[in-house]
Amino acid sequence: MTPTIIETKNLSKYYGKTCGIEDLNLQIKTGEVFGFLGPNGAGKTTTIRLILNLLRPTFGHVLVFGKRVETHYYRIFKNIGVIPGELKLYEELTGLYFLEYMNNLSSGAPVLRNELLEAFQLKPEHLRKKIKQYSHGMKQKLAIIQAFQANPDLIIMDEPSEGLDPLNKNILYQYVRRFKEKGKTIFFSSHYLAEVDKVCDRVGLVKDGRLIAEEQIGQLKKKMVRRMEIKFSREIDTTVFDLPDVQIKSKTGNEIILNVSGDLNPLIDILAGLEIENMIFPEPSLEETFLTYYEEPIFTGPVSEKNSP
Amino acid sequence: MKNRFLLAPYLKKILHDQRWVLIFLLLGAVSFEFFYAWIIDATGMLKFVETYLKLLPPAMQNLFNMQPGTAMFSTQILVFGFAHPFIMIILSFLPVSMASRYLAGEVENHTFDIFLTKAIRRNLIPGNLFIFLLIALFFQVCAMLAGMWIAYLYFNLEINFSDYVYVALTAYAFYVSMAAGAIAISSFFSERGKSLAVIIGTLITFYFFDSIIRLNESLSFLRQFSYFQLYQPTELIRGLKSVSHSILISSLISVICLLISLLNFRRRDI
């Protein structure tokens, strides 16, 4: 097996003067679940389309399984499952015909199909219907099944949980973990930090077409600045929070807002000795994550609220 | 895929998509030719058309490429059934619509985002689309010929049927070249509507160009540059044009257009 499954070298794509992705250097190893995290329009889909040879790079190149994708794509793709971001299926086909059709175009037998159909609760009567009669969630399930059914060594997913309910999202995450256990490689693009946290080993943060950080997920979480709101029973002396990874953001009466990063244990030890009335410690938003690496806010408004799948 | 040229699941899917359209077009071609021959031969329409054409000015007679009042007129009017606007629409329907749907349309709909990530060479897509059209047009031309053959047997038409076979062969080569051209044009587009508009616009422009040079004698030197001169059934049956020359030029156009589409589709962004 090649240790590096996907490698991009100085990969750039421009649409006229507009930059899709610029100077991207990535290395994704065998058996890794790599999260590709970024807001909408950051260049995630462009990168995936370059990896899949749907777009030609302006500069640089992509190696998959050690081979250049522009010239060897039809050999490389024998062993790849893909869930595209902008999902459009052949609406006039039935679900079963679609799965058969996709499998006939690949090389492997659909060894996992029945198991996947059962897991995602797609019954034979669903498969007999035309895809145009499917809901968005059912189409997404079908796309997931076609990607996983031949047990490929590499799966590339572009926001795969879009349109899935929490139950089916969990089934998807279970399969991602199972594939990782089998030593398969997964490229997982998302704009949900919590989702990436659940399944990925390593994460690349992309913004405005540039890779701004590449970290192990554990390290990313350590570096992340998180907001903690605490309401005490009585006013307290703030000097107790004089810790290296804790910063007081504001204090109003009994309420205090802290920015916390790194190891939480020293802070928890201190809080254990204080009388707390209420505490809010939300999952960090994608914006807060990016602020750790990047000074400017990436976006404002409702999108930043979508931090949990 | 084991076969380097044929993409069987793709051809099967296209057939699955187009089966009713194809059946309708085949029935349309057979029945049109039969009823055209019936109307011309059995209803006395031949005399009416001949009289009508005689009243037209010579330029208009040139447009129809017919010689009313001659012994060959009945043969000419019957073979006009192979170039009648109805049969032209039937034979050009699949090349025009399928090239736009299966190339530009699939790019526009993002269905290629899954399809082209399978283990298939990209140039197999326009290549197999061409193969499908090659087969579909063969059956359509056979249906057209079959309609005339049934009429020939049923109405005892006084024609040399082998001449009609040669005309049908020329029609086949001509519409195959049209299919290759449509595929080449569509391979440059990412929107089905635009592709369709450009293909139809190009064909209409070529048709008008041909009509103008047929109407105007002083422009007859431009005939060799007119695409629609490659398929002139009435001239072919009168021996004014060579069947082999028309087939050769049509085939050459097909090869060039097919190469353009293969090269372009292999390199383009999806």
* DSSP codes of every residue in chain B: ---SS--HHHHHHHHHHHHHHHHHHHHHHHHHHHHHHHHHHHSSHHHHHHHHHHHS-HHHHHHHT--TTSTTHHHHHHHGGGT-HHHHHHHHHHHHHHHIIIIIHHHHHTTHHHHTTSS--TTHHHHHHHHHHHHHHHHHHHHHHHHHHHHHHHTT--S-HHHHHHHHHHHHHHHHHHHHHHHHHHTT-S-HHHHHHHHHHHHHHHHHHHHHHHH-GGGGGGGGG-GGGG--HHHHHTTSS-HHHHHHHHHHHHHHHHHHHHHHHHHS--
* Domain total of chain A: 2
A175 and A245 in a single domain? The answer is: no
Task: Return residues 165-194 of A near B (CB < 8 Å).
Answer: none
* Contact state of A88 with B118 under an 8 Å Cβ cutoff: no
A186 and A257 in a single domain? The answer is: no
Residue-level pLDDT at B14:
95
Query: Which CATH number belongs to the domain containing residue A199 in this structure?
Result: 3.40.50.300
Interface test with B, best of A105, A131, A132, A159 (most B CBs within 10 A): A105
Within 13 A of B252's CA, how many CA atoms are on the CB side?
8
* Contact state of B270 with A49 under an 8 Å Cβ cutoff: yes
Q: What average pLDDT does the segment A61-67 reach?
A: 93
Is B140 within 8 Å of B29 (Cβ atoms)? yes
**What is the Cα–Cα distance from A24 to A13, expressed in whole angstroms?**
10
Task: Return residues 24-83 of A near B (CB < 8 Å).
Answer: 49, 52-56, 73-75, 77-78, 80, 82
In a domain, A301, yes or no: no
- Give residue B46's pLDDT band: very low, low, confident or very high (50, 70, 90): confident
A134 and A213 in a single domain? The answer is: yes
In a domain, A309, yes or no: no
Residues of B with CB below 8 A from A56's CB?
267-269
Is A105 within 8 Å of A97 (Cβ atoms)? no
* Of residues A21, A167, A149, the one with CA closest to residue A82: A149
B47 pLDDT higher than 50: yes
- Give residue B171's pLDDT band: very low, low, confident or very high (50, 70, 90): very high
**What is the Cα–Cα distance from A190 to A160, expressed in whole angstroms?**
8
Beta bridge partners of A232: A276
A38 and A185 in a single domain? The answer is: yes
Taking every pair of C-alpha atoms in chain A, what is the biggest distance, in angstroms?
69
Q: Residue A6 CA to chain centroid, in angstroms?
A: 16
Mean pLDDT (chain B, rounded):
91
In a domain, A306, yes or no: no
CA–CA min distance B114, chain A (Å): 7
**What is the Cα–Cα distance from B179 to B90, expressed in whole angstroms?**
13
Residue-level pLDDT at A135:
93
- Give residue A295's pLDDT band: very low, low, confident or very high (50, 70, 90): low
Q: How many CB pairs under 8 A join A and B?
A: 72
Question: Which of B81-95, B138-152, B209-223 is least confident?
Answer: B209-223
Interface test with A, best of B16, B118, B121, B269 (most A CBs within 10 A): B118
A123 and A253 in a single domain? The answer is: no
The percentage of residues in chain B with a pLDDT greater than 70, rounded to a whole number, is 99
* Contact state of A55 with B121 under an 8 Å Cβ cutoff: no
Q: B230, exposed or middle or buried, with CB in 10 Å at 0-12, 13-18, 19+?
A: buried
A89 and A210 in a single domain? The answer is: yes
Q: Which residue range(s) make up the domain with A177?
A: 4-221
In a domain, A103, yes or no: yes
- Give residue A212's pLDDT band: very low, low, confident or very high (50, 70, 90): confident
- Give residue A292's pLDDT band: very low, low, confident or very high (50, 70, 90): low
Give per-residue burial for A24-48: e unless 16+ CB within 10 Å, then b: bebbbeebbbbbbbbbeebbbbbbb
A308 pLDDT higher than 60: no
Residue-level pLDDT at A59:
93
- Find, in chain A, the residue whose alpha carbon is nearest to that of B16: A93
Q: What average pLDDT does the segment A139-161 reach?
A: 94
Does the pTM surpass 0.90? The reply is: no
Rg value, chain B, Cα: 20
**What is the Cα–Cα distance from B50 to B56, expressed in whole angstroms?**
10
A286 pLDDT higher than 80: no
A127 and A262 in a single domain? The answer is: no
- Give residue B76's pLDDT band: very low, low, confident or very high (50, 70, 90): confident
Residues of B with CB below 8 A from A78's CB?
119
Q: What average pLDDT does the segment A225-252 reach?
A: 86
- Find, in chain B, the residue whose alpha carbon is nearest to that of A103: B118
A217 and A231 in a single domain? The answer is: no
* Contact state of B116 with A54 under an 8 Å Cβ cutoff: yes
A163 pLDDT higher than 90: no
Site of tokens 């024998």? A78
- Find, in chain A, the residue whose alpha carbon is nearest to that of B2: A107
A264 and A182 in a single domain? The answer is: no
Joined together, the tokens standing for residue B65 give 């490429």
Residues of B with CB below 8 A from A50's CB?
none
B217 pLDDT higher than 90: no
Q: Of the candidates A73, A97, A102, which has its C-beta nearest B114's C-beta?
A: A102
A299 pLDDT higher than 50: no
Question: Residue ranges per domain, chain B?
Answer: 8-267
In a domain, A20, yes or no: yes
Q: How confident is the model over B106-161, as pLDDT tens digits?
A: 999 999 999 999 989 999 999 999 999 999 999 999 999 999 999 999 988 888 88
In a domain, A304, yes or no: no
Q: How confident is the model over A72-107, as pLDDT tens digits?
A: 998 899 889 999 988 899 999 999 999 999 998 877
In a domain, A308, yes or no: no
Q: How confident is the model over A39-63, as pLDDT tens digits?
A: 888 899 999 999 999 999 999 999 9
Is A187 within 8 Å of A155 (Cβ atoms)? yes
